[in-house]
């Protein structure tokens, strides 16, 4: 296939369409996924191609959507359930955390739940406190759930395609600010394996570990740092479960310094878990404490300025790196 320009949204839609073409057991269900095309347009026109029996508009009930997907997966289908916002995942925690995540174990491996739960999170649209959260730590905390959070157009396609081959439930969180991002991609190129982190930039001075939209902020921060003589390695973990800690470890041991950047809140968040693990497993190689850069422990404001100030941005990331390297960087 020749190089093509796609948006993040286009790549997700193509992944769903390709999977549905190849496997008649793949079905989509959720609020307004059919005739309306999904809250963010990812499933637009799929109902025309695959029909209402495979692209199913449901009542406005998140527990019903996820519960139906769990049952469908247990009985032979590969459902893709869509939640409009990750903020609503709490309503589904019995179905997701008590059922989908535990059925393989409770049935002694005789049956699994091969479903994908697609949803989106994060800030960037002034959607307010109940529609702007980053709740991936809820999922990461639950054994039995896989978790993918693509940051690039190519990964939006490939990770979703891979998720639809897994024998266990995958929560697939898209960032609402990335849907219109465009990249020129070759979707026939061999992708990184499921569960493998991507080293997006290499540098000698510190490692920045991140995922989802924060990858782009970290890369911008790395460019700012390079202009000051600081070269940062930026690692995009891509999947939080499974987590490719071997790649993180290798680069932390090489540079001796690590920062973890997440849009989720600081307290008990993904950044806290990764920072603790780096400290435990790389302690003998660290020159300085691991630093977290994460969201404020506050509800997200509808105010554009307050919203932007409540999560990490390129300047905060760069400034934090410079403080870590104070005395080693020319003024």
**Tokens 């390695």 appear where?**
233
62 and 207 assigned to the same domain = no
Q: What is the pLDDT of residue 326?
A: 87
Q: Beta strands 4-7 and 26-30: pairing type?
A: unpaired
Determine the 3-state secondary structure of 296 from DSSP: coil
Supply the CATH number for residue 143's domain: 3.40.50.970
164 and 281 assigned to the same domain = no
3-state secondary structure labels for all residues of 77-129: CEEEEECCCHHHHHHHHHHHHHHHCCHHHHCCCCCCCCCEEEEEECCCCCCCC
Which tokens go with 97? 């955390």
**Tokens 């991609």 appear where?**
185
Mean pLDDT, the chain, rounded, equals: 96
- Residue 331: pLDDT above 70? no
58 and 137 assigned to the same domain = yes
43 and 95 assigned to the same domain = yes
Rg over CA atoms, the chain: 20
Q: Tell me the residue range of the domain where 242 lies.
A: 198-324
218 and 173 assigned to the same domain = no
Residue 99 in any domain: the answer is yes
88 and 231 assigned to the same domain = no
pLDDT digits (tens, 9 = 90+) for 79-123: 999 999 999 999 999 999 999 999 999 999 999 999 999 999 999
Q: With contact defined as beta carbons under 8 Å apart, do 148 and 238 qualify?
A: yes
Residue 191 in any domain: the answer is no
Residue 155 in any domain: the answer is yes
d(CA 257, CA 237): 17
Which stretches of 123-204 are assigned E, i.e. beta strand?
146-148, 170-175, 182-185, 198-201
pTM of the model: 0.97
pLDDT digits (tens, 9 = 90+) for 41-85: 999 999 999 999 999 999 999 999 999 999 999 999 999 999 999
157 and 14 assigned to the same domain = yes
Distances (CA, A) of 123 to 56, 138, 265: 28, 17, 12
Helix runs in 141-201, H state only: 153-163
Helix runs in the chain, H state only: 8-22, 46-50, 62-74, 93, 103-106, 136-140, 153-163, 214-227, 245-255, 270-282, 304-309, 314-324
177 and 235 assigned to the same domain = no
Q: Count of domains in the chain?
A: 2
**Tokens 């495979």 appear where?**
54
d(CA 174, CA 154): 13
Considering all CA atoms of the chain, what is the largest pairwise distance in Å, rounded to the nearest integer?
64
Q: Which residues are catalytic?
A: 62, 131
pLDDT digits (tens, 9 = 90+) for 217-250: 999 999 999 999 999 999 999 999 999 999 999 9
155 and 213 assigned to the same domain = no
Determine the 3-state secondary structure of 326 from DSSP: coil
181 and 238 assigned to the same domain = no
Residue 290 in any domain: the answer is yes
């Amino acid at each position: 296939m020749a190089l093509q320009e796609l948006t993040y949204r286009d790549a997700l839609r193509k992944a769903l369409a390709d999977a549905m073409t190849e496997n008649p057991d793949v079905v989509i269900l959720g609020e307004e996924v059919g005739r309306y095309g999904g809250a963010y347009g990812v499933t637009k026109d799929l109902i025309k191609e695959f029909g209402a029996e495979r692209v199913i508009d449901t009542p406005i009930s998140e527990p019903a959507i996820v519960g139906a997907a769990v049952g469908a997966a247990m009985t032979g289908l590969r459902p893709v359930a869509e939640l409009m916002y990750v903020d609503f995942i709490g309503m589904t925690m019995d179905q997701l955390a008590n059922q989908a995540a535990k059925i393989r174990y409770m049935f002694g491996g005789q049956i699994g739940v091969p479903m994908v739960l697609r949803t989106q999170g994060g800030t960037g649209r002034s959607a307010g406190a109940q529609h702007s959260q980053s709740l991936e730590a809820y999922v990461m905390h639950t054994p039995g759930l896989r978790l993918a959070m693509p940051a690039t157009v190519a990964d939006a396609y490939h990770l979703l395609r891979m998720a639809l081959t897994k024998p266990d439930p995958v929560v697939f969180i898209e960032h609402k600010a990335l849907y219109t991002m465009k990249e020129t991609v070759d979707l026939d190129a061999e992708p990184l394996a499921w569960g493998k982190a991507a080293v997006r930039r290499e540098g000698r001075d510190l490692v920045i570990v991140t995922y989802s939209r924060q990858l782009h902020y970290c890369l911008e921060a790395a460019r700012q740092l390079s202009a000051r003589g600081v070269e940062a390695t930026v690692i995009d973990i891509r999947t939080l479960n499974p987590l490719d800690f071997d790649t993180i470890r290798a680069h932390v041991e090489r540079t001796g310094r690590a920062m973890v950047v997440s849009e989720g809140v600081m307290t008990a968040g993904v950044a806290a878990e990764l920072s603790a693990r780096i400290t435990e497993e790389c302690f003998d190689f660290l020159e300085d404490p691991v630093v977290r850069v994460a969201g404020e422990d506050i509800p997200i404001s509808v105010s554009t300025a307050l919203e932007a100030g409540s999560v990490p941005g390129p300047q905060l990331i760069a400034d934090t790196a410079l403080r870590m390297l104070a005395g080693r960087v020319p003024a």
